[in-house]
């Protein structure tokens, strides 16, 4: 029985849960880890495999970009194998279209800065509006040629590494950790390596540490030399990635949605493959749900999370600067808690696929939610909600969060539901699977 009904090509009307949920949910591989591993494997070359590759648009954009660069890549289901490495001496001009994939566009821009030939990176209009300045300036400071053809420090951009070198570089951490990660991923191939200083109130630092973890798995010399409130200093010595068989962890960001569904509806869910010592900072969502009133149990093969429907779901005050992708998820759970919730440390997410503060609040208010946008976050006061037609603003995380709201609020319709293909193409099918486990079905 279909539990979600397509109203038109661009709208999906969502059914509510009839009771607590009891299920096991397999989530796709981490696109964040996968894209980092694919860059390393592209440079390592023949003999490298990356398994548990997710099927989302960002990963597809990365693989398409690597193939455009001339890499010989084969794929069987969720396993990608490399038969060649990137030819850095090649002088051919290469054009890459990254669609809406911010991470992929930034990583591929840095990778192109190692090549002798021109690499042009472009994307759809929404991606052209994403901030790129810190990355383009940093690559220029490392000797790469970087030029934007329409608007300075934006896509489309043309890069080449005819004069690229290493050295010491300082970046601000105030915009996106993806800039630091992009530079780090190519740094072993800089002639003198790299000393990277990341200054200021660091946002999404867990993603930088994830990058280091993947680089270490591919056999290069990376050392965190200093780490305090004001400075993160990382040294990367010159070298080459070694051919590696790399397994991508289940995506902790994706796992937040079935976990949040249990927090909202009650019941129990098991997420196989998740690890408490994960490379992913978003694994911190599990203890956050504990703080709100859920019970968790880490086992050898995954994590179980449960909540008695009669137990209180508590509001929370939380700094999400290291789990910023989960702001819409936490906001959705907070709508059903007892007591106010506040989310801080995330002013920078106004420059994601959408304005993830303003656009999220605007849409939730259509359901009569009491959501206040703060300078660096949100304040949420729970109250009775109503159904509404919610716009996704080209943002997969808004769409998936609205799917959580609709578990308890009838009459919710999501515009452009296919936007979830960016990270979890089967998200709506997973949601229906969870609904089928509702008591009384």
Task: Provide the annotated active-site residues.
Answer: 325
* Whole-number Cα distances in Å, 258 to 32, 92, 241: 19, 46, 36
Residue 24 near residue 269 (C-beta atoms within 8 A): yes
How many Cβ atoms from other residues are within 10 Å of residue 310's Cβ?
Answer: 6
Each residue of 230-260: b (16+ CB within 10 Å) or e? eebbbbbeeeebebbebebbbbbbbbbbbbb
Determine the Cα–Cα distance for residues 119 and 186; give it in Å rounded to an integer: 15
Burial class (CB in 10 A: 0-12, 13-18, 19+), 105: buried
Q: Which two tokens stand for residue 163?
A: 């004069």
Residues 6+ apart with CB under 8 A from 273: 26, 27, 249, 250, 301, 302
Determine the Cα–Cα distance for residues 392 and 405; give it in Å rounded to an integer: 13
Residue 383 near residue 213 (C-beta atoms within 8 A): no
């Amino acid at each position: 029985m279909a539990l979600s009904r397509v109203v038109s090509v661009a709208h999906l009307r969502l059914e509510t849960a009839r009771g607590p949920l009891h299920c096991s949910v397999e989530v796709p591989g981490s696109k964040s880890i996968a894209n980092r591993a694919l860059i390393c494997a592209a440079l390592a070359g023949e003999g490298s495999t990356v398994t548990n590759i997710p099927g989302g648009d960002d990963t597809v954009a990365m693989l398409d970009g690597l193939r455009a660069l001339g890499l010989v890549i084969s794929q069987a289901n969720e396993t990608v194998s490399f038969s060649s490495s990137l030819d850095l001496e090649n002088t051919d001009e290469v054009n890459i279209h990254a669609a809406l994939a911010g991470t992929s566009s930034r990583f591929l821009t840095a990778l192109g800065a190692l090549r002798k030939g021109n690499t042009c990176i472009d994307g759809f209009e929404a991606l052209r509006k994403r901030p790129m300045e810190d990355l383009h300036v940093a690559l220029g400071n490392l000797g790469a040629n970087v030029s934007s053809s329409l608007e300075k420090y934006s896509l489309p951009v043309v890069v080449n590494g005819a004069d690229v070198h290493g050295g010491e570089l300082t970046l601000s951490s105030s915009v996106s950790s993806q800039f630091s990660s992009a530079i780090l991923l190519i740094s072993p191939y800089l002639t003198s390596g790299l000393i990277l200083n990341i200054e200021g109130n660091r946002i999404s630092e867990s993603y930088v540490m994830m990058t280091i973890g993947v680089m270490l798995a591919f056999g290069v010399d990376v050392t965190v030399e200093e780490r305090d409130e004001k400075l993160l200093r990382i040294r990367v010595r010159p070298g080459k990635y070694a051919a590696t068989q790399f397994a991508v962890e289940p995506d902790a960001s994706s796992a937040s949605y079935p976990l949040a569904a249990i927090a909202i509806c009650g019941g129990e869910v098991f997420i196989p493959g998740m690890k408490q010592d994960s490379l992913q900072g978003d694994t911190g969502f599990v203890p956050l749900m504990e703080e709100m009133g859920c019970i968790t149990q880490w086992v050898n093969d995954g994590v179980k999370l449960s909540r008695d429907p009669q137990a209180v779901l508590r509001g929370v005050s939380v700094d999400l600067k290291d789990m910023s992708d989960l702001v819409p998820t936490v906001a959705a759970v907070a709508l059903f808690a007892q007591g106010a919730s506040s989310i801080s440390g995330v002013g920078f997410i106004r420059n994601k696929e959408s304005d993830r503060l303003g656009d999220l609040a605007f849409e939730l208010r259509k359901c009569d939610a009491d959501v206040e946008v703060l300078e660096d976050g949100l304040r949420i006061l729970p109250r009775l909600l109503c159904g509404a037609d919610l716009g996704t603003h080209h943002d997969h995380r808004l769409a998936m969060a609205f799917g959580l709201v609709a578990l308890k609020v009838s009459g919710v319709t999501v515009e452009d539901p296919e936007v979830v293909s960016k990270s979890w193409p089967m998200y709506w099918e997973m949601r229906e699977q969870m609904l089928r486990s509702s008591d009384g079905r």
